[in-house]
């Protein structure tokens, strides 16, 4: 990838800045060749590479080096975008929102600083991957569990900072204290960590006064250098109900049935239900099922269901904890299900620690159309109400059909809200199809906005569009976010445009791709 300079920075100034960075972190950790820039492109991007092209990357080794980098970035007005492992596939990978931004790759800060079995938490640096933490738990026989996203190749910290989630729940809700660097270089610890030697840093979330952790999550106010994350004790037993619903309209009753169980705590985590196609996209190619350019027709659905022995909707409903308690909960769950259907679901009993661990296998889904592939996700949040969820599903599926794409939807119910992750797969080299993907995405944003639903997280290219849907009082929240941004980051050097928050210096870049 050829160099695209940061807006308003000349080649000479840029070169001076890069030389200054090299003096503080070492030349070998200033990555700014065409080949280096290539490695920070979003390989799944549905748009042009030039829309989110990094000017290079810096890989400091420690907090002091990051502080030195920030000083230079402020002096030369070089925008920086922090990443932990940069595997944010579907949302932008390791790329920045604004071309010309320099990536601050924190992959070298990769220590597991503490794992506390008794109180159930870990303290991690940003470069620690899900595989690293998993290996650490297994090698040291630590009976704690971790929430693992479908793509297990990323960073525990980076994922939590995106509000990533798994059936274990919203990973950012387990954050309890951070060490952060402000864009001006000041080192801060949040929560109880604000006391020098604060003993309850990883144990009590709020400290005294406003709570900053969630200001940093999905924000661009600070760089996280250490993160405390709660972990669950390993369960004694697990019971899984193999849910298979044969008709698309059954999503409604299932949502209604699960909601009170989740609210009363009979079920914990998120109750997940996924449409049939998810079973086919990883192990098979689309061409085995259908060659047409339009959406896969309904006639193919029974074939997929038969081959993989699945329903239209599928979900593993998991109860875990003490074995006797699980048995009692199972009775409650079965009784609740019996109020809605005569169908019985297979019950699988097993140990509480049967998780297979992180995996890269699901990444294979991008091969669906053969050749290079990508995906983006459209994920609005709505009330946990069967009728509303059913309507959202039907509306969304009609849109996929209108634009000739294959529907693949998952609903995560937490009892009060439902997050609907819609996966849109495409071939990277099919320009016409990618055009349809972008049109579908805009239609989905519009539809959800009309219903009063907003997205929980989005791809770089849609951050401004999604931020614009949060429009109460003429976008008062965005104005507040940007007021804070200008106060903590006067030169606007940190992650300009992240989640639609633009600093004064680059506000004219809003909406530009």
Partner 1 sequence: MAGVLALLACAAPGAQAAESPAQVQARGLAAFVHRCGMCHREGGTGTYILARRLGAEQSLLEKRTDLQPLYVRTVVRWGLQNMPRLSRVEVPDADLDAIISYLLAPKPAAKP
Interface residue with ligand FAD among 86, 120, 358, 373 (CB under 6 A) is 86
Q: Residue 361: which of ligand HEC, ligand FAD, partner 1, none does it interact with, CB under 5 to 8 A by kind? A: partner 1
Q: Which residues pair with 327 in a beta bridge?
A: none
At closest approach, how far in Å is the CB of 169 from ligand FAD? 11
Q: What is the DSSP string of 115-142?
A: EETTTTEEEE-TT-BHHHHHHHHHHTT-
**Nearer CB in complex with ligand FAD: 386/497:** 497
User: Which SS3 state, helix, strand or coil, does residue 219 take?
Assistant: coil
Check residue 430 and give left, alpha or beta (phi > 0: left; psi -120 to 50: alpha). Answer: beta
Binding-site string for ligand FAD from residue 101 to residue 120, where x marks contact by CB under 6 A and - marks none: -----x--------------
Number of CB atoms found within 10 A of residue 35's CB: 9
Quick one: which of 155, 172, 174, 422 contacts ligand FAD (CB under 6 A)?
Answer: 155
Find out whether 420 and 380 touch, Cβ atoms under 8 Å.
yes
Q: Is 7 in the site for ligand FAD (CB under 6 A)?
A: no
Place of tokens 């169980």: 261
Near ligand FAD by CB under 6 A: residue from 47, 158, 380, 454: 158
Does the footprint of ligand FAD cover residue 363 (CB under 6 A)? Answer: yes
Q: How far apart are CA 289 and CA 132, in angstroms?
A: 38
Q: Does 114 bind partner 1 (CB under 8 A)?
A: yes
Quick one: 220 or 329, whose CB is closer to ligand FAD?
A: 220
One residue of 223, 237, 261, 478 binding ligand FAD per CB under 6 A:
223
Instruction: Work out the widest C-alpha separation in the chain, in whole angstroms.
Output: 73
Q: Which is nearer to ligand HEC, 126 or 154 (CB)?
A: 154
- 43 is in the binding site of which of ligand HEC, ligand FAD, partner 1, none (Cβ under 5 to 8 A by kind)? partner 1
Nearer to ligand FAD, 86 or 496 (CB): 86
Q: Site for partner 1 (CB under 8 A): which residue of 66, 69, 94, 467?
A: 94
57, 133, 319, 421: which one binds partner 1 (CB under 8 A): 57
Q: Which of 44, 221, 407, 456 is catalytic?
A: 456
Candidate residues 13, 307, 332, 372; the one interacting with partner 1 per rule CB under 8 A: 372
User: Considering the rule CB under 8 A, would residue 364 count as an interface residue with partner 1?
Assistant: yes
Is position 360 an interface residue for ligand HEC (rule: CB under 6 A)?
yes
Q: How far is the CB of 361 from partner 1 (least distance, A)?
A: 5
| 277/419 Cα distance (integer angstroms) | 18
Q: Residue 87 CB, nearest distance to ligand HEC (Å)?
A: 8
Tokens encoding 492: 């606007």
Listed in sequence order, the residues at least 6 apart from 404 whose beta carbon sits closer than 8 Å to its beta carbon are 293, 294, 295, 433, 436
Chain residues 445-504 in contact with ligand FAD, contact rule CB under 6 A:
495, 498
**What are the CA-CA distances from residue 79 to residues 104, 352, 463 (Å)?**
10, 46, 18
Backbone torsions φ then ψ of 193, nearest 5 degrees: -70, -10
CB of 208 to ligand FAD, least distance (A): 24
Which one, 365 or 445, has the nearer CB to partner 1? 365
- CA atoms of 475 and 329, how far apart (whole Å): 44
Which are the contacts of 83, defined by CB distance < 8 A and separation ≥ 6?
A: 94, 103, 104, 105, 106, 107, 158
Residue 227: strand, helix, or coil: strand
The question of whether 456 is a catalytic residue gets the answer yes
Q: Of the listed 44, 91, 400, 412, which one is catalytic?
A: 91
Cα–Cα distance between 25 and 33 in angstroms, integer?
17
Cβ neighbours of residue 205 closer than 8 Å, sequence gap 6 or more: 175, 176, 177, 191, 211, 213
Site string for ligand HEC, 144-163 (x = CB under 6 A): ---------x----------
Q: Is 118 exposed, middle or buried (0-12, 13-18, 19+ CB in 10 A)?
A: exposed
- Which of 46, 47, 90, 183 lies at the binding interface for ligand FAD (CB under 6 A)? 90
Residue 48: active-site member? no
Residue nearest to ligand FAD (CB): 158
Residue 154, interface with ligand FAD (CB under 6 A)? yes
Stretch that binds partner 1, among 89-97, 211-219, 302-310, 491-499 (CB under 8 A): 89-97
Residue (153 or 470) nearer to ligand HEC, CB: 153
Taking the alpha carbons of 5, 7, 10, 13 in that order, is the dihedral positive or negative? negative
Q: Pseudo-torsion of CA 219, 222, 223, 225, nearest 10°?
A: -110
In sequence order, the 6+-apart residues with CB closer than 8 A to the CB of 459 are: 46, 90, 91, 92, 376, 377
Instruction: With beta carbons less than 8 A apart as the criterion, state whether 336 and 261 touch.
Output: yes
Residue 78: helix, strand or coil by DSSP?
Answer: coil
The entry of ligand FAD, ligand HEC, partner 1, none near residue 131 (CB within 5 to 8 angstroms by kind) is partner 1
Q: Does 363 bind ligand HEC (CB under 6 A)?
A: yes
Select from 150, 373, 500, 503 the one that contacts ligand FAD (CB under 6 A): 150
Q: Which residues bind ligand HEC (CB under 6 A)?
A: 153, 360, 363
Q: Which residues bind partner 1 (CB under 8 A)?
A: 28-29, 31, 35-36, 38-41, 43, 57, 59, 85-87, 89, 93-94, 105, 107-108, 111-114, 131, 140, 152-153, 285, 358-364, 366-367, 371-373
Active site residues: 91, 456-457
């Amino acid at each position: 990838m050829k160099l695209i300079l940061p807006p308003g920075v000349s080649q000479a100034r840029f070169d001076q800045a890069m030389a200054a960075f090299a003096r503080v972190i070492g030349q070998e950790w200033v990555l700014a060749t065409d080949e280096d820039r290539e490695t920070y492109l979003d390989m799944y991007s549905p748009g042009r590479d030039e829309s989110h092209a990094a000017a290079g990357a810096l890989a400091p080794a420690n907090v002091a080096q990051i502080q030195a980098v920030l000083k230079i970035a402020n002096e030369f007005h070089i925008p920086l975008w922090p990443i932990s492992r940069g595997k944010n596939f579907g949302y932008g990978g390791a790329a920045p929102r604004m071309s010309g931004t320099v990536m601050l790759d924190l992959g070298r800060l990769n220590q597991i600083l503490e794992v506390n079995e008794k109180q159930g938490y870990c303290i991690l640096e940003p470069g620690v991957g899900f595989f690293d933490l998993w290996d650490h738990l297994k090698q040291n026989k630590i009976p704690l569990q971790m929430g693992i996203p479908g793509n297990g190749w990323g960073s525990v910290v980076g994922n939590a900072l995106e509000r990533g989630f798994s059936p274990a729940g919203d990973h950012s809700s387990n954050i309890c204290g951070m060490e952060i660097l402000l864009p001006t270089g000041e080192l801060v610890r949040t929560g109880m960590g604000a006391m020098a030697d604060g003993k309850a840093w990883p144990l009590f979330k709020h400290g005294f006064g406003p709570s900053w952790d969630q200001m940093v999550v999905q924000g661009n106010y600070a760089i996280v250098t250490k993160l405390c994350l709660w972990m669950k004790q390993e369960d004694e037993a697990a019971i899984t109900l193999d849910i298979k619903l044969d008709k698309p309209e059954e999503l409604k009753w299932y949502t209604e049935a699960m909601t009170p169980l989740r609210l009363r705590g009979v079920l914990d985590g998120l109750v997940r239900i996924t449409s049939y196609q998810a079973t086919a996209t990883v192990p098979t190619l689309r061409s085995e099922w259908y060659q047409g350019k339009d959406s896969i027709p309904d006639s193919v659905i029974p074939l997929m269901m038969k081959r993989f022995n699945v329903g239209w909707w599928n979900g593993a409903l998991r109860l875990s904890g003490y074995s006797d308690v699980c048995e009692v909960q199972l009775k409650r769950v079965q009784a609740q299900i019996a109020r809605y259907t005569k169908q019985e679901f297979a019950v699988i009993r097993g140990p509480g620690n049967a998780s297979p661990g992180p995996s890269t296998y699901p990444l294979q889904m991008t091969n669906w159309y053969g050749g290079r592939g990508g995906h983006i996700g459209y994920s609005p949040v709505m009330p946990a109400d069967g009728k509303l969820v059913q309507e959202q599903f039907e509306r969304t599926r009609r849109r996929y059909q209108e634009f000739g794409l294959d529907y693949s939807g998952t609903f995560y119910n937490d009892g009060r809200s439902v997050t609907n992750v819609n996966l849109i797969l495409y071939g990277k080299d099919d320009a016409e199809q990618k055009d349809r993907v972008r049109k579908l995405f805009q239609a989905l944003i519009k539809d959800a906005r009309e219903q009063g639903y907003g997205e929980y997280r989005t791809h770089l290219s849609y951050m401004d569009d999604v931020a614009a849907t949060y429009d109460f009082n003429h976008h008062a929240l965005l104005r507040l976010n940007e007021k804070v941004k200008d106060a903590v980051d006067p030169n606007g050097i940190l992650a300009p445009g992240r989640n639609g928050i633009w600093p004064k210096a680059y506000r004219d870049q809003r909406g530009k791709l």
